[in-house]
Amino acid sequence: MSLYGAVEAGGTKFVVAVGEDPSLPRDIQRIPTSIHPQETMAAVVAYFEKQGPLQAIGVASFGPISYTSGCITNTPKLPWQNFPLRDTLRNALNLPIGFDTDVNGAALGEARCGAGRGLDDLVYITVGTGIGGGALVGGQLVHGLLHPEMGHMVVRRAPGELDGFDGVCPFHKNCLEGMASGPAMQARWNTRADQLPADHAAWRIQADYIAQACINLACILSPQAIVLGGGVMEQLQLFPMIQARAAQITNGYLPLPAIVPPGCQYPGLSGALALALGQTV
């Protein structure tokens, strides 16, 4: 069988793998994201050079990215700004490179072999250090002027929100990321999200913001499923709370998509492998 490569490029680490099937990434290794892009990319290239003949590589990258240039653009990691990630791999390995955002990659992975297996309309949202989202509509990943920036959608203050808490987003303060990311929870409660008990009031507020996001996405994109991943969403008690709050807010106006945790162990790597396979179809 043909072998493909996968890169999930993150601000802290690059995770690399190979595989023949998006559902089965293997030989997974983690490479620290150096302050110097050339160091990280040299290690990534060396990994793939040891893997034998590859057909293509898929890259699911932190962003923002440019689809035209294959670069990471306005990242706060300044040495990575405008670094030609896609072309660095292409030139070093002489292979076709599929290139997209990490969250679009995760959306593709979940649609191909995860919680949304077989669906053509799916949204993936990650809730962690930041909030981001990717979307598959009609079987195609959503691009555009830039790419979806779902973490910065506008939300209204949740019932029970603390007086004086105005959000942590440096650009918008009280957007979704500013109110519901891991850093937002820590700033609000002076405690990391994973250290809050399951019955803490924090989770009712968190469920409200995520429910608002799901409703906005349901109204605009009409996905069949919304997959919620990331470190904050490891609190599984959130899922029924989000479903209930979303139903309450919509008041029967529209059918809600399934709101579910990821089905892939490595959504980004599975999506990156799917991107690689798409280069040779």
Give rounded-to-5 percent helix, strand, coil for the chain. Answer: 40, 20, 40
CATH of domain 4-105+265-278: 3.30.420.40
How much is the average pLDDT of 52-77? 92
CATH class of the domain defined by 117-260: alpha beta
Same fold, 4-105+265-278 and 117-260: yes
Q: How many CB atoms neighbour CB 51 within 10 A?
A: 14
Q: What is the full DSSP assignment across 95-144?
A: --EEEEEHHHHHHHHHHHHSTTTT-SSEEEEEESSSEEEEEEETTEE--S
DSSP category for residue 83:
B
The Cα 173–Cα 250 span in angstroms is: 25
Mean pLDDT of the chain: 95
Q: What is the pLDDT of residue 74?
A: 85
**Residue 1 banded pLDDT, cuts 50, 70, 90:** confident
* Alpha-carbon Rg for the chain in angstroms: 19
pLDDT beyond 60 at 281: no
pLDDT digits (tens, 9 = 90+) for 69-111: 999 998 878 899 999 999 999 999 999 999 999 999 999 999 9
- Residue-wise burial string across 4-23, b where 16 or more C-beta atoms lie within 10 A, e elsewhere: bbbbbbbbeebbbbbbeebb
- Residue where the block lists tokens 């396979």: 277
Q: By C-alpha distance, which of 275, 279, 223 is closest to 109?
A: 275
The residue-averaged pLDDT of 265-273 equals: 97
Cα separation, 73 vs 116, in Å, equals 30
Domain boundaries, the chain: 4-105+265-278, 117-260
CA distance 169 to 183: 9
Instruction: Encode pLDDT of 121-155 as tens digits.
Output: 999 999 998 999 999 999 999 998 878 899 999 99
* H/E element, 212: helix 201-221
